[in-house]
Structure formats: structure tokens, C-alpha cells
Amino acid sequence: MNKGVSLKSKIIYIVLAVLTAVLIWLGDEGKQPIVYLGTELQHSVGLIDSESALVLQSSVARFGTVANTPSYVVNRGTYRVDLVYSAEKKDSVLELWEQGDKIAAWPINSWEQELTAEFTLSKDAKALQFRINYSGDGALIIKKLTFSPGSLFYTDTYFMIVVVLALFYMGWKCFMEDGVRLTQRRLLDYSVIIGAALLATTPLMQTYLYNGDDLCYHLARLEGLKDGILDGQIPVNILPEGLQNNGYLNAMYPYLFLYIGAFLRICRVSLALSYKTIIFLANLGTAVCAYVAVKSMVKERRCVLLAVVLYTLMPYRFTNILHRGDLGETLALVFWPMVIAGLYHIVMGDRRKWYYLVIGFSGALQSHILSVAYVAAFCVVTVLFYCVRIAREKRYIEIGKAAGLSLLLNAWYLAPFLYYYFKEDLNKEVLRWSGYFEQSVNPSIFTQSLSLYNKQYFSLGYALLGCFGIGVVYLLVERRERGRDADGFLAYLLVTGIFCAFLCTGYFPSRALMENDFFRNIGTMLQFPWRFLGPASACFLFVGAAALERSKLLAPCKNAVMALLIGLNLFIVITVPTDNMHMPYKNAEAQASKGHETKLGTSVGLFYPHEWRLVDATDDKMMTGVVVFDYDAVSVQDYQKKGTKAAVSYTATDPAAYIELPIQNYLGYRAKDENGEPVKIIRGIGGRIRLFLNGDGAPHQIYVRYGPVLGFVIADIVSALTILFCLILGGPGTKLRERIAGAKASMLQQTEEERVEP
């Protein structure tokens, strides 16, 4: 034990840890029922009485579904629904729906005033919804609907307890045990990194999610990835229950970092908290990468920590997280500092740090495909710009190492992506809906503070513009006195940042260039010019941090400049508005009932875009059962599907008979009959799997499953072996070799000293 820490302090520390865990446990909402008064149900007809009940009369001239709850993402298990009502006539029904299928129904009897029903979900529900089906005859008064779990809706509380206790344990190891030394300098650095990440996450520290433009898609990916893991797919190429259980292609959008949230979902953590955990880790990763990358180029700690705060809290990140819900680009922004630092070290810095570029490029590739296209373009331009220096100093060796290792590490993802993109008949043209120019940014917006109400908020912010100004002053006024090669790289970054910002604006002649086929193909693929704000912000950040460190002109007021920049950046966080409609608890009743419902994804839903569907796989062609085209010749006795595996039993009397299964026919699906003989699969209507049957009139079975695909498996093995090689080369083996080399050097030094002694 550390003798500097008293026994009393240790006891207080342990008590504090236990007390914190107990307080979190007491606030558990996972067991609380979700309660709706009649008027709080989603409804289009009916009157409201003095007790907030929904009153339906025959005079509404409406029957069928008249009121419903939101759609829930619910874990498998046992649940209960209670409906308090008053009905004059029978035949009204309370129904339970999941992804467009009615899975249960309970009559609303006129001689009773309360309906209680228990039901069991054998698998996780994607869009569970209660609907009230009104008969259209007599008065029906809906007073209250209560949805309760048999045990827990989710395990968020227990997950948070584990996280908090883990943090307390880390604190114990750092401060309470002997032999552990955490210097004040390192403690400050870590505090700034963690503090910036927490501050960036504060807008999400509510029970609700900001419903960003793409949030529903990323929630669908997260939920589908969990299903794919449970299906036995590693890596997960198909979301097995997407598109109403038809399956949806997952390989086209990077998903490595979503595995974190998927494993939380397997542990029954709510969809909302799983997503927020990824966002927090993205914020933390952003701060860490900015720290490591800038520190490798800037030696003054104050400037490094300034860069950490400014980059983690930069406006464009908040726009992606809160307004756009763009998880992919949010993750890609984590790695831009590593890309810039890696290129610097390859072209003129410490060439041994070429692996920075591998980390940056691979991280961007595993986050967002369009972002890695920006990264690749930046790399190519940089290499071409410094080609003479690279050739003179033979730095092309490091470029080859970075390119080769990046390719091998990511082969597991690139193989299925490239095959499906170029060989599969996907509906890719829907990606080109934007004309680029229409999304251009007015330069005046570059100075705005964050506002979720402004649909065209895409800003650099005052702090990053301040970095730009510092860089301009240093490079134009002071650089002649220094003349360092590193300053030339800063100038290159400054010009690159200016050019990227210019590409965002309407001053860039994109409308005229759209007449050119080559530019139109690129522009419509990139969709939004504001994507250039990411690399522009990263470039200005490096320029500002490095220039502030080297500037003699700003040296006397350096602390004041840093305080001003950080203060301006903090406005980004504190001006994030909170709409009253988004407040988790609007009244006391909500606090005790449904304040936690948004953790079940009720406000956003799940969505599967059209671009990665097979051609003609529109929503109206999605089926949930086997499609038989000749009922006189074919009889289907049974159809079961679990994950990407399905089985169908049939009899057929026509040798040309066929059926279509409600499964999207992506490459990798194969079928066999009960004897293990292959059954031919072709694409049917709406992209479905079409199977030709044995028409001998006898009972038969066909078993369908996805994978493995040989080429994909080879790519998986290549990446796995590359990772293993890197771990061996850069892991414990390297440390052992370094220790041996150090011991040998010490022995040689000692021998030399003995020789010179008289």
C-alpha cells in the first residue's frame, strides 16, 4: 500500500464508491412501467374529456386503428399490458404489432372495464406497438394504457454501476496503491482529455436522443449488428432481421466501432444508452488522437492541451452528433489528426512514426467511406506536393509500409465491400440525389454558434478561425526569421484548410462545374460540400497550435490567447438548446411512468435506406411469408426463419414450380434439400430468393443459409494474421527485445568502464 495515503482515506474512498453505486441503483428506471393516459396515445380521431381520456363515438364514422403507442425496441422476455377503458359494445380489440405483423390481440369486452394480458417475446422486437382497433359501434373511452416488464426493460443501471466501479478501481490503482506514480503533469493531461470528452457528451446526458437526420439508420445498424452477432456472423455482412425480416446488406457501411454498442445490446443495455456510449467513446477517442497527434509535432504542453479542447469541442462535431445524427462522419473525425501527423512524419518528421498514418487511415476507413475518400485524396496530394523530398530522402519506403499495412489490416472489410459495390445489383443511384451546389454554405455561417434550430448550421467557430488568424500572423510576419521546414508544412496545411473551406461555400463555382460529367459524378457522390469542414478544421487546429508555440510575437500574451480561444469554444457547448418538448420529465406523472420511454428508441424508429437494397426491393414488395405463384401445383406446409437461416417444407406437382422466400438474395446465400443436394437460387421479384422445387408430389424440405463466402474468408484470415503479426512485432515481444538490448548496452558500458580503470 502507498504509505502516503492513510487508512481513513482509503475507507472513505471505498464508502464513496459503494454509495455512488447504491445511488445509481436507486434511480433504476428499467423496471418502471410506461404509462399513457388516453389523450397521450397517438390518435387522429376522438374527443378529450375532463379526465384526459380519449372518447370515441359512432359519430366519428371511423373504425379500425384509431389510437396507438409509439414503436418500441424491446428485449425478448415477458411483458404485461393493462388497458383501463369503458365500452358500450363489443368487437373492439387491443392489438400487438411487430414490424408490420400482428402478433397478438385481446378483445375489449363491454362487460369489463380493465384488460390485463401477459405476453412473451421470443426474440428482440424492432418496432413493437400497441394499437386500439375500434369496432365503430358504440362509445369507447380509453382511460389509461400501461406497459410493464416482467423483470426489466433494460439493464442500463447495472451497466452504469459496472462503469462507475471500474473507474473507482482505476482511481484506486493510480492513487491508493504503492508503486504507482501518476505525476501532476500527466494527471493534468488526462484530466483535460477526459474533461473535454465528458463536456462534449453533456448534451446527450438526458434520457432522450436528439432525432438527427440519420440517427434512425444508425440505430437500425446497431440493432441489426447485434442480431448478426447472435446469428453467428463474424464479421456481420447481413443484418438478418432488417427490412421486415428480409435481411439488409451491412457490408456497405463501416461498422467496426459499432460492435461496442452491439455487445452492450446483447447484454440488454437499452438502444439509446448503447448509442450514447459509442458517442462518448468517439469524443474520448477524438481527444486522445488530438493529444497524441499534436504532441508529436508540438512540444509545448499548453498548446497541445489547447488543441485537444478545440478539436473535441469544435462546432462541426456537434453538428454531426446532434443535428445530423451522422455517426459515421463523427467517428471518422476522430482520426483526422492522426492522418495529418502521420503524413508530416512520413514526408519530413520522424519517419519511424509512419504507423500514425496507418491508424488514421484505417480508423477513417472503418468509420465512413466518403470520409476515407477525403483522407485518400489528402494523402495523394501531400505525397505529390513533397515528392522530390520523399524521393531524395527515400521516404517512399515508409509510404509503401503504410499503404501495404493499411490494405492488409482492412482486407476483411474491403473484400465484401468492393464485391457488393461493383458486382451486386444494388440501388446505388439513389446516393446521387444531391446537386452539391444546393447544399453550399454561406461564409457568414462560419462564425455562428451552435443552434439545433438552424437547419443550415455549418460553422468553423470563432476558436478555429482564431487558430487560422494565428497561423496567418506567424507564417507571414515571423516565418522569415525561422525558415524551418516544419513551417513550410504549416503553410501547406493552412492553404489546404483555406481551400477546403472555400469548397464548402457558394463562391466555389460548383453550379457551373456540374455541367462537366467528371465533376458531376464526383459532386453528386460527395453530396454535401460541408463535409470539407472536417479536414479544414483539423488543418487549422494544427496550424494554430504549432504557430502559437513558435510565435515570439504572441509569447507575452500566450496565456491570454489560449484562455480566449477556449472561452469562445465553450460557447459551443453551453449554447446547445434544449427544447421543452425534448425534456424527459414534463410533469410528476411522467417522472413516475414514461420518462424513460425514449431509451427504447420510441422517438426515432428504425430505418433501412434504399441505396444498399437490391434493385426493385421497395417497401411495397417486402413480404413476410413465402410467395407461391401457383397454388394448384405447390403447397407450403411450413416456413421458419431464424437469423440468416431458413427452412421451408413443401409439396409440388409441377417440375417447373417455384416459390420465393422473404429473404433478399445477396451473394452468399445457398440452399440445399433434405438430402444435402444443392438447390438453385435465382433472384425473384423485389430481390427475393427464388427456389425451383422438386415436382414429384412428395414432401420435401429446403434449407437456406448465408455464407461463408470463400473470398471473404480469405480476406478475414489475411487481416487476422496481419493483426497477430503487428501484436507480436509491437507487443510484448518488442518490449522483451528492448529490455535485452538495454541490458546488453548496460553490460557493455560496464565492461568499458572496467577497462579504463587503472
| pLDDT tens by residue, 471-494 | 999 988 886 655 567 888 999 999
Same domain, 423 and 318: yes
Q: Is the residue at 164 inside a domain? A: no
> Domain containing 638 — which CATH number?
2.60.40
Contact in structure between 674 and 699 (CB atoms under 8 Å): no
CA 201 to chain CA mean position, Å: 14
Q: What is the pLDDT of residue 467?
A: 93
Nearest to 235 by CA among 207, 257, 220: 257
Helix pair angle (336-347, 271-295), 10° resolution: 20
Predicted pLDDT of residue 48: 83
Question: Are 198 and 289 within one domain?
Answer: yes
Q: Which of 308, 302, 389, 311 is nearest to 343 (CA)?
A: 389
* Average pLDDT of span 178-189: 74
Q: Which amino acid is at 628?
A: V
- Mean pLDDT computed over 451-463: 67
Share of the chain above pLDDT 70, in %: 88
Rounded Cα gap, residues 29 and 207, in angstroms: 10
Q: What's the pLDDT score for residue 701?
A: 95
Would you say residue 584 has pLDDT above 50? no
pTM: 0.90
Considering the domain architecture, whether residues 200 and 332 belong to the same structural domain is answered as yes
Same domain membership, residue 215 and residue 96: no
**Percent of the chain scored above 90 by pLDDT?**
54
Per DSSP, the residues of 19-61 read HHHHHHHHT--TTPPEEEEGGGSEESS-EE-TTS-EEE-GGG-
Q: Please give the Cα distance from 486 to 466 (Å, whole number).
A: 21
Question: For residue 215, what pLDDT is reported?
Answer: 87
| Cα dist from 163 to 17, 160, 170, whole Å | 11, 5, 11
- Report residue 575's pLDDT band, with 50, 70 and 90 as the boundaries: low
Q: Is residue 607 part of a domain?
A: no
Whether residue 154 lies inside any domain: the answer is no
Residue 628, beta-bridge partner list: 659
The mean pLDDT value for 140-144 works out to 92
| DSSP-based three-state secondary structure for 353 | helix
My answer on whether 144 and 209 are in the same domain is no
Regarding whether 405 and 302 lie in a shared domain, the answer is yes
Q: Is the pLDDT of residue 156 over 70?
A: yes
Whether the pLDDT of residue 1 is over 70: the answer is no
- Position 212 confidence tier, pLDDT thresholds 50, 70, 90: confident
The conformational region for residue 315 under phi > 0 = left, psi -120 to 50 = alpha, else beta, is alpha
Q: How many helices (H) and strands (E) does the chain have?
A: 26, 23
**Strand pairing report for 77-87 and 72-74:** unpaired
Mean pLDDT on 177-205: 83
- Residues 640, 642: Cα–Cα separation, whole Å: 7
Q: Give the model confidence (pLDDT) of 722-748 as tens digits.
A: 999 988 887 544 544 454 455 445 444
CA distances, 726 to each of 76, 282, 358, 734 (Å): 40, 24, 12, 10
Categorize the per-residue pLDDT at 603 as very low, low, confident or very high, splitting at 50, 70 and 90.
Answer: low
Sorting pLDDT into bands at 50, 70 and 90, what band is 595? low
The predicted model gives 198-211 an average pLDDT of: 80
Residue 27 lies in a domain: no
722 shares a domain with 686: no
- The domain of 684 spans 619-707
The helix or strand, by DSSP H or E, that contains position 146, with its residue range, turns out to be strand 140-149
Interval 9-62: pLDDT, tens: 888 889 999 999 999 998 888 888 998 999 888 888 888 877 789 998 887 767
Q: Are residues 703 and 719 in the same domain?
A: no
Q: Give the residue-averaged pLDDT of 648-663.
A: 93
- State the pLDDT at residue 23: 93
pLDDT value at residue 179? 54
3-state per-residue secondary structure call for 61-78: CCCEEEEECCCEEECCEE
Residues paired with 605 in a beta bridge? none
Judgement on whether residues 129 and 245 belong to the same structural domain of the protein: no
Residue 588 lies in a domain: no
**Residue 97's beta-bridge partner residues?**
102, 129
Q: How many CB atoms lie under 10 A from the CB of residue 521? A: 11
Element (H, E) at 639: strand 634-642
Q: What is the mean pLDDT of the chain?
A: 86
Identify the pLDDT of residue 180: 56
Over residues 247-252, the mean pLDDT reads: 92
Provide the pLDDT confidence category of residue 100 given band limits of 50, 70 and 90.
confident
Integer angstrom CA distances of residue 395 from 343, 351, 399, 401, 475? 11, 7, 7, 10, 26
Lowest average pLDDT, out of 98-102, 191-195, 356-360, 511-515, goes to 511-515
Q: Are residues 108 and 250 in the same domain?
A: no
Write down which residue in 149, 172, 201 finishes a domain. Answer: 149
Model pLDDT, residue 581 = 43
Domain boundary among 534, 552, 581: 581
Q: Which residues pair with 144 in a beta bridge?
A: 37, 84
Q: What is the pLDDT of residue 600?
A: 84
Q: Are residues 248 and 372 in the same domain?
A: yes
Q: Is 627 exposed, middle or buried (0-12, 13-18, 19+ CB in 10 A)?
A: middle
Lowest mean pLDDT: which of 378-392, 446-460, 647-661, 681-695?
Answer: 446-460
CB 303 within 8 A of CB 549: yes
Are residues 137 and 53 part of one domain?
A: yes
Whether residue 283 lies inside any domain: the answer is yes
Number of domains in the chain: 4
* Residue 20 belongs to a domain: no
Kindly report, residue by residue over 330-357, the tens digit of the pLDDT.
999 999 999 999 999 999 989 999 999 9
Tell whether 173 is covered by a domain: no
